Amino acid sequence: MLRAYTNKLISGCGGSGVVNSLLYGNAINGSFIFTKNQQQQQQQQLSQYRYFTSTTDKPASPTSATPTTPLDKNNILTDTFNRKHTYLRISLTEKCNLRCQYCMPEEGVELAPNDKILTDDEILRISRLFASAGVTKIRFTGGEPLIRKNIESLIEQVGKIEGIEKIGITTNGLVLHRKLERLQKGGVNLLNISLDTLDTHKFTLITRRLGWEKVMESINKALSLNFNPVKINCVVMKNINDMEICDFVEMTREKNVEIRFIEYMPFGGNKWSDKKFVSYTDMIKMIKEKFGALDRCVDEANNTSKTYQVPGFKGRVGFITSMSEHFCSSCNRLRMTADGNLKVCLFGNTEVSLRDIMRSGASDEEILKVINQAVLKKKASHAVVEGLVLCFVNLSNTITSKLGVATAAMSSALFPSVTPNPLPSMRSYSTFNSGGVHNNNNNNNNNPFSHVNSTSNMPTMVDVSAKVPTKRTAHARTIVEFPTDVLQQLLGSDRKEISSKKGPVFATSIVAGTMAVKNTSNMIPFCHPLGIEAIKIDIAVISDAQVQVDCTVSVFSKTGVEMEALVGASLTSLCIYDMCKALSHDIVLKETKLISKKGGKSDVGEK
């Protein structure tokens, strides 16, 4: 169900029927899908091995399809970024007995013919081949995997394969309670149940089906059989079920469940939309406001979920942050679609049909060579992340052209794979804490950017989960300069407030600055949302022509509030300008600077 969810939502990125067919496992001719600008290059690279085909090719005969390069049997599933793939997800069916609003239309989707779906024997052969290459964990998904006939027998046979240590199932839970005991005896030891609401009526609205009680029965059945833990997948959607986040967390008080909140992937029509998107940092804030402390747990290697626990609670909560903080650099997953296509990345637009290869009579070694070639072509990060990076790059390029500032070198350092080198005549500069402007033409590999992932070179929010919360304060200041006659005209007798036709200038501006402080994380991309404890904004007339704005912000947190203070001072000053601009457009917002910060690694400024 989770695969179907992510597949459906990402379909808007491609904008093509080919991509949409891929998302439901209906790859054309079961072959590799390429974008037009990749097609010729990929065909040349793969011409020695005809199992890899473009969307216009017919499946090739295996008779002349043997690569000349010997196969390294110890690294068949290791890609060019040294990621070892030990986890295989196999879709057993495209069918589902729910019609979730975010997953598929009410009438369902076009399904592949039954003769195109992998048989039990083919699934077992694929499982054995991947196990021989190093896979230790297999998860069965769908559609809804439990509506496949004879699934219990299939699981029992997979459980006997040498090397397979873990077998998981991701299910919507409607029929799980009837089959779980035999599945557990057959080897299933990992269980994920999809449930987006604790309200039976809302369940019917979201899924277009009845059955909430059956899902809860399955969860309780799994708990009685001592699954450790029972994982519950919840796709969080703004104004639909985000108000239930704390209700889900409450389930962990007495039950050994792990609620996994999944960020909604807000793509549609090739445009980014955040109408339903709720970031995991916002979710954490909601939980802390209700339950107080939230401890970070130690995650397993290659885990996609950031796991937390409310102190004293039996269960845990996790966050799958595929939108705000991707986990591509540690990805160890490969996927088989129900109709036999191998996908090395869920978000990628390439597949290879192992079904066609098997049915053409290929040997195990030939199939392993195809698998190896596919793994070697896995990219550093998925398409969604690359698209977001291009947004940052385009923004950087726009700033460069508008301001005439040589920032292209900075862009190249941040995103070397997608940005051009600066022109020879361009020079780049950066500012440092020691003051002044310094030439920065030489690369400095000893000072990596904190907001760039060191492995993938992708933008990322700094992880502060391991830091200890402390009292943090920051003080910022902006000077607003008026024409002398204008300021004197506005001043009252006490010189503590000025009034314009729009009303009291200082009082209104303080409100604006306070609102700005609380919304800093919505304006500055990588600022953490913070529970601000105190905001103090002072405005004073310091001369016949100048007004001084001071903004001091305090918080008890793992990260500082310098940006909040700077934003507060800036927006307060902008509001002053707006309130007074009818009298003069010669009002100038002069320097905005950080006066001091306290808490964290070091203090800066006034003591």
Secondary structure of 324-357 in the HEC alphabet?
Answer: CCCCHHHCCEEEECCCCEEECCCCCCCCEEHHHH
427 by DSSP, 3-state: which? coil
Residue closest to 455 by CA, chosen among 380, 388, 522: 380
Considering only residues 111 and 189, tell me which one the structure prediction assigns the higher pLDDT.
189
Q: What is the pLDDT of residues 440-495, one digit of tens each?
A: 334 444 445 666 666 656 677 777 777 778 889 999 999 999 987 878 777 765 55
Q: What is the pLDDT of residue 473?
A: 94
User: In which band, very low, low, confident or very high, does the pLDDT at 350 lie, cut at 50, 70 and 90?
Assistant: confident
Fold that domain 2-376 belongs to in CATH: TIM Barrel (3.20.20)
Q: How confident is the model at residue 66 (pLDDT cuts 50, 70, 90)?
A: very low
Give the pLDDT score at 411.
35
**Residue ranges of the domains in the chain?**
2-376, 385-466, 470-605
The yes-or-no verdict on residue 323 having pLDDT over 90 is no
**Is the pTM higher than 0.75?**
no
Check if the beta carbon of residue 48 is closer than 8 Å to that of residue 68.
yes
138-152, 162-176, 453-467: which range is least confident on average?
453-467
CA angle 509, 511, 515 (to 5 degrees): 115
Question: What is the pLDDT averaged over residues 291-314?
Answer: 91
The pLDDT of residue 382 is 60
Write down the CATH superfamily of domain 470-605: Molybdopterin cofactor biosynthesis C (MoaC) domain (3.30.70.640)
Whether 586 is catalytic: no
For residue 84, the 8-state DSSP code is B
User: Residues 120, 578, 586, 603: which is the catalytic one?
Assistant: 578
pLDDT for position 322: 72
What does the pLDDT average to over 595-602? 84
Higher pLDDT, 354 or 399: 354
Query: pLDDT class for 51, splitting at 50, 70, 90?
Result: very low
Q: Minimum mean pLDDT among 39-43, 83-87, 354-358, 543-547: which range? A: 39-43
